[in-house]
Amino acid sequence: LFWPAMLNFSGHRVPSQYAINGFLTVDGAKMSKSRGTFITANSYIDQNLDPEWLRYYFAAKSNGAIDDFDLNLDDFVNRVNADLVGKYVNIASRTSRFIAKEFNNELGAIADETKALIDSIIARQDAVKAGYEKRNFAAALREISAACDDVNEHFDQMKPWEIAKDESKRQLLQDLCTGYLECFRLLSLYLKPVLPIVAGKVEAFLNIAPLSFDALTTSLGKGHQIGSYEHLMTRLNRKDLDKLIEANKEALAVVRNDAADTKKTDDVKKAQKAEKSDAQDSSEYISIDDFAKVDLRLGKVLSCDFIEGADKLLTFQIDLGEEKPRTIFSGIRKFYEDPAALIGTYVIVVANLTPRKMRFGVSEGMILSASTKDQLTLLTTLGELAPGAKIS
C-alpha cells in the first residue's frame, strides 16, 4: 500500500505486479522467542543448513495467495528427504552408476523405451511455466514431483540392474540410462528457479550449457561425455533442526543477558529520571483497585447559594441518604447565574473524599462535572434514584 504510493509520488515507475506473501509460522504458531522458534536467516546459514532445502519448502507452500504458511519442522524434513533426495536426486544417483561403471561416463542414444516418458515431461512445460508466472510455485512443483514419480516408476519397471547382468544388452543399458539422464536434465531445468545452486551442479555434472527453457528440446546426444557424479544434495536430519532451535535460544539468552547488564548500568544513571517517569505514569493511570477506593454516590441538591466574599464558589446542601445533609463547596459559580435553579437536581458526589477545611467552613465531598473552556455541566443519572445510591 505505502511503497507503491511513495514510488508514484516520487515520480518512479510503479510495478505492474506485486509478489506478496502472508506471515510465516513455525509448527503452527507464530514465531516465539520464548518457545525458541524465532529462527533467523543468519542462524540457519551459520548451522550449515542447505538454503536450497528451505527455498524448496517455501516454494512448495506458496500458492500465490496472501496466506500465512507454516514451517512445520517434521514436514520440512519429510519434504526434503522424500521429494528432493528420494525422488529427484535419486534419478541421477542410481542412473549415473551404470554410465560410470560400464561406459566410462559416455552416453548412448536415447532409448526408444524412454522417449514417451521424455515427451510427457516436456508436455508439462506449460503447466510449470504457468505456475511460476502466477507465483503459484506449489502448483509448478506438484507437476515436477509427479514427473519424478513417473521416471522412478519407469526405472523400476525396466530394472536396469537386471539388464546390466546380460552382456548382450549393454547397448540397451547405455541407451536407457541416457534416456533417464535426459529426463533428469529436463526436471533440473524445471527446478532451476527454485534450486539454482543444485542446477549449477547438474550443469557441471552433465557437462552442458546453463539450463534454460529455450533449450528444452536440446537433448543429450550420443557420445556425449558427462562428469563424475558427486552428491547433489544430502538428506536433512531432524537433529540438525533441533540444533538450529537451540542455537537461536542461546543467541537470545546472550542478547537478554547483555540487555540486562545494560539495564543495570542505565538504572544507576537514570534513577531520578525513572522515579519522575514513574510518578508521571502513576498520575496518568490508576488500577482497578484504586478506582474501587472511590465511593461515588448519587446526591440530591437541597439548597444552593452564593457565598459572600467568594467569587468562584457555590455552597451546596446535598442529601446523600445520611442522617443529615452534607455541605459541599464547588468552584462553579461563573457557570450558574441562578444557583437556586439547581435545587432538586441530582448530582454525582465523591462521598469518601477527606473533608477540607476552608475559610467559609468544611467541604464534605466533591461534586463531579464535565467541562470545556467555556462550558460546564454537572454529572447526573438518566433516572431518579434514592439519594445515596452507589455509583459503579
Q: From the first residue on, what is the mean pLDDT of each consecutive set of 10 residues in the chain (392 residues)?
A: 86 83 76 68 84 93 81 90 94 95 95 96 96 94 97 96 94 96 97 96 95 87 93 91 78 47 54 59 73 91 91 92 93 89 93 89 93 89 88 86
Predicted confidence at residue 21, as pLDDT, reads 74
Cα end-to-end span (Å), the chain: 45
Cell reading at 64: 500465490
Predicted confidence at residue 271, as pLDDT, reads 58
Positive/negative CA dihedral, 44, 49, 55, 61:
negative
Q: Provide the strand spans (E) within the chain.
A: 24-26, 29-30, 69-71, 296-306, 314-319, 326-330, 346-350, 356-358, 361-363, 366-367, 369-371, 376-378, 390-391
Predicted confidence at residue 222, as pLDDT, reads 92
Q: Which amino acid is at 262?
A: T
Helix (H, G, I), strand (E, B) or coil at 25: strand
Predicted confidence at residue 263, as pLDDT, reads 52
CA distance 344 to 337: 17
Residue 210's closest CA among 200, 220, 218, 219? 200
The residue to which cell 514431483 is assigned: 145
In sequence order, the β-bridge partners of residue 329 are 315
Cell reading at 123: 508436455
Predicted confidence at residue 221, as pLDDT, reads 86
